[in-house]
Amino acid sequence: MSTGGSERKKIAALSFALLCCSLLLTAYSARHPSFARIGATALFEVIAPLHAAVDFAQDSTRSVWGRYFGLVGVSQENERLRARISELDGERGLLEEFRRENDRLRALLDLNSVSQLRGVAANVIGDEPSGWGQGVIVNKGSSMGIRVGMAVVHPKGVVGQVVAVSPNYSHVLLLTDHASGVDVMTQDSRVRGVVEGVGADHCELRYVSKQTPVRVGDSIVTSGMDGVFPKGLIVGAVSKVAVETGTLLQNIEVKVSVDLDRLEEVLIVTGEQHQPTKVEEVQSLVKSGKQGKRRQ
């Protein structure tokens, strides 16, 4: 207890002494201004570096925190921008898909008008269910007037024919299936034959004698004689011609014009638009002429 009391007394005495010195210095400075300036200068020289160091530390701290919060803000903004870019990429992809689908459907409509075919556009929704043959499933059926035996085409050429129908779906046998056959002819020389499927993306043109000139590159079109495919539709082109000894017929390979592995939309032919004959055209002209005379 005595030690603690003596320490407190020393501190009190020292504080009193400092107070007295401060009062004496203040009184002396008031009487001697030059001394006060010297003391202030000396005190400033001592305190100024400390103050500068404190200010520098505070500025550094503010700068570090400012940069930290700035980086956090930039990072968050980058995340938002990345999310927006990803969203825009998705929208662009959808728009591109819509554009391409629109182009394909427009091509089907052009086929409908140019070839004078009446038909129903359908989307391919699946492959051959059994997995054994070459075929696809489309999303139009008997409710849309589709029947077994109807031809199925694409702007690039023949696809196949309908072999099974339900109210809302149809099974299309592709041109390349082994069970498929189309009556055709070469576009230039008008040589008749039958294109039969052999799988993959090829067919064979059969029943063509070896005396008949057929060349690689010849275009093959439908003849219209099979009662299924309208005349003049492109089937493919001759890719290989071979003549074996001891046979009467040629081995002719045909590469089909449609990429059957990438089908998305097709046109199911429901009929042909009526084309007026020459007689009908003359009768129409005569009729219109008579009507004109009556009006006069």
* pLDDT tens readout for residues 13-36: 766 766 666 666 666 556 656 555
Counting Cβ atoms within 10 Å, is residue 29 exposed (0-12), middle (13-18) or buried (19+)?
A: middle
Q: In the numeric block, which tokens belong to residue 198? A: 């052999």
Average pLDDT over residues 282-290: 51
Q: What is the mean pLDDT of the chain?
A: 77
pLDDT at 74: 73
HSE-CB for 252 with a 13 A CA cutoff: 32
d(CA 67, CA 280): 88
199 vs 239 pLDDT, higher one: 239
d(CA 104, CA 97): 11
Q: In the numeric block, which tokens belong to residue 28? A: 């002396």
Which of the 8 DSSP states describes residue 137? Answer: E
Given a contact cutoff of 8 angstroms between Cβ atoms, the answer to whether 196 and 206 are in contact is yes
d(CA 145, CA 171): 14
Give the angle 75-79-82 at the CA atoms, nearest 5°: 135
125, 167, 174, 114: which is closest to 143 by C-alpha?
Answer: 167
d(CA 171, CA 125): 10
pLDDT reading at 278 higher than 50: no
Q: Quickly state the pLDDT bin for 223 (edges 50, 70, 90).
A: very high
Q: In the numeric block, which tokens belong to residue 31? A: 């009487």
Which of 25-39, 110-124, 182-196 has the least mean pLDDT? 25-39
